[in-house]
Amino acid sequence: MSGEHASSTVAVRVRRLEERLVAAGVVGDDQLDAILTKLLNGASPVNGARVTARAWTDPGFKERLLADANTALPELGLSMTGGIQEQRLKVVENTTEVHNVLVCTLCSCYPIGLLGPSPSWYKSEAYRSRVVRDPRSVLAEFGLELPDDVTVTVWDSSAESRYMVLPRRPDGTDGLGEEELARLVTREGLIGTAAV
């Protein structure tokens, strides 16, 4: 199945679900539009970059973020409430020993509010199936070569749970403030397909 065909199939299924929800009186078209507008208005990788920069500069925030991200996010005016219910967010930290990468093998579940709309490759069947089986090769295709002694952990999102990678802070950035650090963070770094 090609990526374009898969995307159109998903779009048709989503529209059918929307139509059934409207027909059953569960939600109206206006409500669906309002939910999507609210979700996408603030959706940006800038949010994930802000979270990362705060974690790099505030050890207490980092500890709270890694322990319970849903509780820590409101400290920056953010949340995982994207429409009807809150999604559970787990932030996983890259270290010198462990590198994390995200995927959603079933579809393309993803923390849109923190990372912005997902890239097309994240939704592709090729990425979703291959990164689980051979993450090092997939990361190498993105230009990220990891030493053999670094363990690669793949985190699979679901409808209820999302993940965000806390990238390693780059060397030589000790004198930078939060805003400057946030500008170094990329969406790919927050997914784990790139280093920062």
> What is the distance between the alpha carbons of residues 41 and 31, in angstroms, rounded to a whole number?
15
Place 6 in a pLDDT band, splitting at 50, 70 and 90.
very low
Catalytic residue among 7, 79, 107, 118: 107
pTM: 0.80
List 152's β-bridge partners, or say none. Answer: 99
| Cβ proximity of 117 and 7 under 8 Å | no
Is residue 124 part of the annotated active site? The answer reads no
Q: What percent of the chain has pLDDT over 70?
A: 86
Residue 49 scores a pLDDT above 90: yes
Instruction: Give 15's pLDDT tier (boundaries 50, 70, 90).
Output: confident
Which residues contact residue 175 at a Cβ distance below 8 angstroms, ignoring those fewer than 6 apart? none
- The dihedrals phi and psi of 168, each to the nearest 5 degrees, come to -70, 140
Q: How many Å separate Cα 105 from the centre of its chain?
A: 14
Query: Which two three-digit tokens encode residue 41?
Result: 């208005």
Q: What pLDDT is stored for residue 186 in this prediction?
A: 96
Q: Is position 107 annotated as part of the catalytic site?
A: yes
Q: Say which residues have a Cβ less than 8 Å from residue 37's Cβ, sequence separation at least 6.
A: none
Q: Is 109 a catalytic residue?
A: yes
Average pLDDT score over the chain: 88
Greater confidence, 65 or 118? 65
Annotation marks residue 108 as catalytic: yes
- Secondary structure of 44-82 in the HEC alphabet? CHHHHHHHHHHHHHCHHHHHHHHHCHHHHHHHHCCCCEC
